[in-house]
């Protein structure tokens, strides 16, 4: 049994918010040490039964539920008239909902079949590329967007993803499904046991996430609803569900949908064995990824150096791999308080290749300019040796294009790297040129894989996701944005993050919850005294103001423990470049 599984390890926290004992000292680890810790954390996703009450991915009951959901999808694939499979979530969960719905619709298109997948992301398509945390708190918005997508449908399989079993947006959708069982079959995907689902009252609602999850659990016994919620262990950086939560979401949904497609179109009935085998392939892909420990560490080092020197990191991607770059980059703002320009993603083909519901979004601001052309026009001219560029592609992409773009980058900075996947042992000529351009390349050679099979690409994607997550997190660790294994510069921009920020203050200061919340509010509003006007507002209003506040948790923590005014703390923090070191120096 791992330490986190013990009933007295951080008992008030759900698994998704616990701090992982394996990464307690990640803020002091070397790049290679960081990769090793991520490897150990990711391995927890696949841990077999450990003799505790926690359900795991490979448990019989979980596999059986995956098979049952796959059979429901199969029915819709075979008779798609007036039917829909909706994938929905907030933040990373919504981005993956989009990604997976698009990938499986693509495969239906190739088979000349009716497209049955739709996605919903809280905050609309802007949230695919930037953090829009406020809508995650809105259950009515969730319900209305579900209704809109499903207009006129007679049969809907709704898959709501909330890694922490916590987002009110998804709770609102599930509640709506429960009220309309004649049309909707709800599936909840997350990574906490039901009794750890969030029980905080949702303003204006009679339900909490937990109460909805419990209703689903009851209906699950009669197969009228499904609950997929194995534990995958705490995140390497506490609460950062973009990492294991996101990876496990991708694995579960792809395993389910692939099984459904094989049953509907290739005469391979859904079976537990097939599901298990498919999950083992993902496990191997994760192991294989971490065999490149030193290569990944080199990337962390380069990206970390850029961030430390106020340079930037650009991911230049091709095909589906590029979207994983876009996702990873978009998460750095809420997770580390990063600026959009610190780590940016670009995709060949821009919005045409993204193919999102709302179409091109470039007019919404510079962070929505995502095509390679945008990189060429807006980033390349100012690129210097402080900046790092990462090329992300596979053997299916036009390697000459990679060489051309890489050459332009190389004229500006020597810090150019590549992550690529292939099955052919013989390297293409262009690959040799790319290797010459790059400081180092992460060359994933998947021997024995069949590139024509979609499932192999899914594993390449997971591998890319892991690398990018480790690189962006590792770089921010080197920049000093992590304290022990906590994101100290987390944005308090919705109720979950507001609570997390308060808890972090409690943990690091040892003070009472009320005192910590007060300190957090003072930092959010930039006020040394709280007025009645402030204290009478609710969390939604606080979270709104927090969007424009910077370094709220560090400010609150230092002023709480030193008694200094916010202005004093602010200037002291400004004098020190590395936030983590500043905290260690300033705290009594």
- Contacting positions for ligand F1P (CB under 6 A): 89-93, 133, 136, 162-164, 166-167, 241-242, 245, 331, 334, 496
Could you say which DSSP state residue 476 is in? H
Taking residue 60's Cβ as centre, other Cβ atoms within 10 Å add up to 11
Residue written as token pair 């459904």:
260
Task: Identify which of residues 133 and 367 has a Cβ nearer to ligand F1P in the complex.
Answer: 133
What residues contact 384, with CB distance under 8 A and at least 6 apart?
311, 412, 413
Least distance to ligand F1P from the beta carbon of 494, Å? Answer: 7
Helix, strand, coil percentages (3-state) for the chain, rounded to 5, are: 55, 10, 35
Task: Identify which of residues 89 and 350 has a Cβ nearer to ligand F1P in the complex.
Answer: 89
Task: Identify which of residues 228 and 389 has a Cβ nearer to ligand F1P in the complex.
Answer: 228
- In angstroms, the CA 91 to CA 511 distance is 31
Residues 518-524: contacts with CB under 8 Å, at least 24 apart: 519/556, 519/557, 519/559, 519/560, 520/492, 520/552, 520/553, 520/556, 522/556, 522/559, 522/566, 523/549, 523/551, 523/552, 523/553, 523/555, 523/556, 523/559, 523/566, 524/492, 524/549, 524/552
Least distance to ligand F1P from the beta carbon of 162, Å? Answer: 3
Task: Identify which of residues 31 and 245 has a Cβ nearer to ligand F1P in the complex.
Answer: 245
The C-alpha torsion from 96 through 298 and 35 to 460, rounded to 10°, is 40
Task: Identify which of residues 164 and 317 has a Cβ nearer to ligand F1P in the complex.
Answer: 164
Give the residue at shortest CB distance from ligand F1P.
91
Task: Identify which of residues 344 and 422 has a Cβ nearer to ligand F1P in the complex.
Answer: 344
- In angstroms, the CA 59 to CA 65 distance is 10
Least distance to ligand F1P from the beta carbon of 58, Å? Answer: 22
Can you tell me whether residue 55 is helix, strand or coil? Answer: coil
Residues 285 and 459: beta-carbon distance below 8 Å? yes
Least distance to ligand F1P from the beta carbon of 239, Å? Answer: 6
Least distance to ligand F1P from the beta carbon of 431, Å? Answer: 34
Task: Identify which of residues 163 and 383 has a Cβ nearer to ligand F1P in the complex.
Answer: 163
Least distance to ligand F1P from the beta carbon of 163, Å? Answer: 4
Task: Identify which of residues 242 and 278 has a Cβ nearer to ligand F1P in the complex.
Answer: 242
Can you tell me whether residue 438 is helix, strand or coil? Answer: coil
Least distance to ligand F1P from the beta carbon of 207, Å? Answer: 16
Residues 457 and 242: beta-carbon distance below 8 Å? no
Task: Identify which of residues 83 and 166 has a Cβ nearer to ligand F1P in the complex.
Answer: 166
Q: Name the residue among 287, 246, 261, 264 with its Cα closest to residue 455.
A: 261
Task: Identify which of residues 437 and 487 has a Cβ nearer to ligand F1P in the complex.
Answer: 487
Least distance to ligand F1P from the beta carbon of 331, Å? Answer: 6
Question: How many helices and strands, by DSSP H and E, does the chain display?
Answer: 23, 12
Least distance to ligand F1P from the beta carbon of 254, Å? Answer: 17
- In angstroms, the CA 345 to CA 316 distance is 6
Distances (CA, A) of 148 to 87, 101, 151: 14, 17, 5
Task: Identify which of residues 220 and 492 has a Cβ nearer to ligand F1P in the complex.
Answer: 492
Task: Identify which of residues 74 and 175 has a Cβ nearer to ligand F1P in the complex.
Answer: 175
Neighbour-count burial for 423-432, b at 16+ CB within 10 Å, e otherwise: beeeeeebbe
Q: Which two tokens stand for residue 1?
A: 């049994």
Task: Identify which of residues 413 and 469 has a Cβ nearer to ligand F1P in the complex.
Answer: 469
Residue written as token pair 């994983």:
324
Task: Identify which of residues 74 and 136 has a Cβ nearer to ligand F1P in the complex.
Answer: 136
Least distance to ligand F1P from the beta carbon of 130, Å? Answer: 12
What residues contact 568, with CB distance under 8 A and at least 6 apart?
559
Q: Which two tokens stand for residue 583?
A: 């905290």
Q: Name the residue among 316, 284, 226 with its Cα closest to residue 455.
A: 284
Q: Is the dihedral angle over the CA atoms 409, 415, 421, 422 positive or is it negative?
A: positive
């Amino acid at each position: 049994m791992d330490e986190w599984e013990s009933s007295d390890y951080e008992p008030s926290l759900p698994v998704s918010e616990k701090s992982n004992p394996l990464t307690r000292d990640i803020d002091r680890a070397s790049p290679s040490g960081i990769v090793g810790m991520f490897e150990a954390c990711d391995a927890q996703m696949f841990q077999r039964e450990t003799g505790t009450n926690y359900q795991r991915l490979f448990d019989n009951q979980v596999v059986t539920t995956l098979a049952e959901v796959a059979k429901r999808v199969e029915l819709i694939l075979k008779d798609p008239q007036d039917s829909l499979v909706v994938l929905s979530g907030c933040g990373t969960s919504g981005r993956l909902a989009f990604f997976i719905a698009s990938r499986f619709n693509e495969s239906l298109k190739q088979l000349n079949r009716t497209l049955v997948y739709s996605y919903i992301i809280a905050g609309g398509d802007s949230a695919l590329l930037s953090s829009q945390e406020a809508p995650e708190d809105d259950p009515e918005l969730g319900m209305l967007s579900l209704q809109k997508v499903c207009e006129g449908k007679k049969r809907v399989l709704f898959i709501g993803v909330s890694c922490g079993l916590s987002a009110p947006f998804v709770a609102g959708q599930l509640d709506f499904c429960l009220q309309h069982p004649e049309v909707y079959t709800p599936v909840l995907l997350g990574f906490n046991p039901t009794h750890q689902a969030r029980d905080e009252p949702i303003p204006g609602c009679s339900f909490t996430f937990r109460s909805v999850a419990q209703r689903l659990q009851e209906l699950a016994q009669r197969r009228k609803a499904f609950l997929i919620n194995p534990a995958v262990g705490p995140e390497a950086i506490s609460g950062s569900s973009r990492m294991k939560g996101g990876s496990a979401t991708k694995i579960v949904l792809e395993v389910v949908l692939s099984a459904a497609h094989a049953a509907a179109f290739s005469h391979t009935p859904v079976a537990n064995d097939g599901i298990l085998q498919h999950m083992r392939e993902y496990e191997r892909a994760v192991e294989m990824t971490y065999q490149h420990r030193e290569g990944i560490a080199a990337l962390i080092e380069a990206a970390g150096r850029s961030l430390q020197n106020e340079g930037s990191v650009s991911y230049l991607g091709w095909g589906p791999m590029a979207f994983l770059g876009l996702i990873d980059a978009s998460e750095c703002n809420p997770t580390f308080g990063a600026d959009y320009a610190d780590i940016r993603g670009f995709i060949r083909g821009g919005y045409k290749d993204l193919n999102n519901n709302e179409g091109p979004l470039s007019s919404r601001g510079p962070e929505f300019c995502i095509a390679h052309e945008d990189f060429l026009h807006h980033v390349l001219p100012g690129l210097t040796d402080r900046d790092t560029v990462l090329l992300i592609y596979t053997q299916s992409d036009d390697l000459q294009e990679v060489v051309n773009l890489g050459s332009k980058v190389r004229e500006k900075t020597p810090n150019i790297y590549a992550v690529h996947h292939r099955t052919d042992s013989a390297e293409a000529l262009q690959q040799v040129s790319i290797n010459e351009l790059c400081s180092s390349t992460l060359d994933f050679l998947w021997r024995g894989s069949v590139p024509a099979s979609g499932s192999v690409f899914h594993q390449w994607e997971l591998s890319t996701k892991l690398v990018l997550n480790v690189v962006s997190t590792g770089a921010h660790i080197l920049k000093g944005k992590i304290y022990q294994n906590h994101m100290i510069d987390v944005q308090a921009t919705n109720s979950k993050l507001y609570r997390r920020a308060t808890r972090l203050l409690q943990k690091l200061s040892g003070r009472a919850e009320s005192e910590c919340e007060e300190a957090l509010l003072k930092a959010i509003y930039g006020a040394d005294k709280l007025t009645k006007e402030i204290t009478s507002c609710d969390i939604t209003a606080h979270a709104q103001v927090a969007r424009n506040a910077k370094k709220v948790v560090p400010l609150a923590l230092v002023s709480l423990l030193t008694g200094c005014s916010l202005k004093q703390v602010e200037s002291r923090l400004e004098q020190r470049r590395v936030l983590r070191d500043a905290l260690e120096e300033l705290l009594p």
